Each structure stands twice: as structure tokens, then as C-alpha cells.
């Protein structure tokens, strides 16, 4: 596995400069492209809707292929979250194109970030899930999709941007600071992402450096 910790954390100065890249205002990540998905609803109005966690996922369409676009030049993942995935573009899409799903954020291999749902709203990313005895993790978490696959290492740019975003989320939603998890943690019998190649140690070290 590539030593991302060495790559990403080699310069304290560069880490410091990255800290201010993203700010959250009224649930919108400033510095990201915003494309509204229809696949969301309101979080519960009571305390169960308080944002207390972050869930990391991976996604690639078609599976294990990155940067693929449709005839209009729209990334397939972005089309999927907008209910515009063309089932004729790939055989795999025929089984999923009617699904209504979304994530708050999608981070591409080059570090580009798109937001699909306001953080204060409930994105549909977790599905049937449980965390610390609480069900319906969509109610209280922020979902971040990384373009990737379980058996392929992620890019250094993705770790860098993800670290910046997590720091911004921690600042805007302090209750999330102790609850950073993978999709496989909240749905272990259904999901395996972000997968064995996701380097949690590097991510946590990067976030810690940024918060100094």
C-alpha cells in the first residue's frame, strides 16, 4: 500500500495552508460545487436529528472505473444522484438506475468536490444501518462518497480534501468529532466500503495536523 501518510503529511506548512480551504455556511460547503439532488428530506425535528457523525463511503460507476461520463459529459455518479443515470450506458446501470439515493458530498479522484444535499438536510446514503444502538443513520450523519473501490487505493488528493472537509464539519457540527465511521461500520452485513485500502490512520493523522 502506498504510504499516503508520508506523502500527505510531509509538509506542515502545506497542511496549514489547506486548513482554510473549506468553510460551511448554512449547511453549504463553500469551495465545493453545489448540485441539488431531489433525493433528500428533513432530518427529525427532535434531538435524534442532531448531526453527530460522519460516514465515509466509496462509489464508482461502472464499478472500479473512474471518471466515466455520459453522452452529455456528466459524471455517472453525479447523474446517479440526480436520478439521471442512463440504463443503456452500461449493463450494471440497468439494475440501479431507478434507485433513489444521494450523499451530501462526492469527492472525485482528483479531489474535486460536489455537494448534493445541504448538511442540515437528510441525504439518503446509509440505508438500513445502526450505530451505537441507534438505527436510521441517515437521520444524524453526514455522508461523504469517495470515488473509489474496495480493492483500489485512494488518491492522495482525496485524502487531502477529505481531511479539510472533516475539519470544516467538526467546526460547524462539533458533535461529529467523536464519530467518524465507514459505511461498513454501520451496515456490516450489507456493506464493505470504504474498503481495506482506505487508510484510516493517515486520515486521522491528517485531520489532527490540520486542527493544531
User: Each residue of 105-144: pLDDT tens digit?
Assistant: 999 999 999 999 999 999 999 999 999 999 999 999 999 9
If pLDDT is split at 50, 70 and 90, which confidence band does 6 have?
low
CA-angle at 82, arms to 77 and 83, nearest 5°: 95
Distance, in Å, from the CA atom of 106 to the CA atom of 112, rounded to the nearest integer, reads 8
What single-letter DSSP state applies at residue 146?
Answer: E
Per annotation, catalytic residue among 108, 145, 147, 155: 145
Beta strands at 53-59 and 180-182: parallel, antiparallel or unpaired: parallel
Share of the chain above pLDDT 70, in %: 91
Dihedral, CA of residue 125, residue 57, residue 164 and residue 67, to nearest 10: -100
DSSP string, 75-97: BHHHHHHTT---TTS-GGGGGTT
* Architecture (CATH level 2) of domain 4-41+50-177+188-198: 3-Layer(aba) Sandwich (3.40)
Examine the pLDDT at 11 and tell me if it is beyond 90.
no
Domain limits, the chain: 4-41+50-177+188-198
Residue 89: per-residue pLDDT:
98
145 is known as an active-site residue: yes
Amino acid at each position: 500500500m502506498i504510504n499516503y501518510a508520508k506523502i500527505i503529511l510531509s509538509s506542515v506548512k502545506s497542511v496549514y495552508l489547506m486548513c482554510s480551504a473549506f468553510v460551511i455556511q448554512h449547511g453549504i460547503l463553500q469551495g465545493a460545487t453545489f448540485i441539488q439532488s431531489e433525493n433528500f428530506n428533513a432530518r427529525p425535528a427532535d434531538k435524534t436529528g442532531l448531526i453527530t457523525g460522519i460516514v465515509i463511503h466509496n462509489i464508482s460507476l461502472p464499478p472500479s472505473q473512474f471518471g466515466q461520463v455520459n453522452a452529455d459529459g456528466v459524471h455517472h455518479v453525479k447523474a446517479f444522484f440526480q436520478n439521471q443515470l442512463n440504463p443503456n450506458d452500461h449493463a450494471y446501470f440497468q439494475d440501479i438506475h431507478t434507485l433513489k439515493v444521494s450523499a451530501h458530498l462526492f469527492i472525485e479522484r482528483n479531489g474535486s468536490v460536489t455537494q448534493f444535499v445541504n448538511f442540515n438536510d437528510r441525504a439518503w446514503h446509509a440505508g438500513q444501518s445502526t450505530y451505537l444502538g441507534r438505527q436510521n443513520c441517515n437521520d444524524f450523519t453526514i455522508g461523504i462518497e469517495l470515488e473509489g473501490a474496495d480493492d483500489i487505493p485512494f488518491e492522495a488528493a482525496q485524502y487531502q480534501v477529505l481531511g479539510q472537509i472533516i475539519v470544516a464539519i467538526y467546526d460547524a457540527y462539533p458533535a461529529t468529532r467523536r464519530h467518524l465511521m465507514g459505511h461498513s461500520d454501520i451496515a456490516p452485513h450489507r456493506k464493505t466500503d470504504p474498503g481495506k485500502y482506505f487508510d484510516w490512520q493517515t486520515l486521522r493523522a491528517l485531520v489532527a495536523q490540520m486542527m493544531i
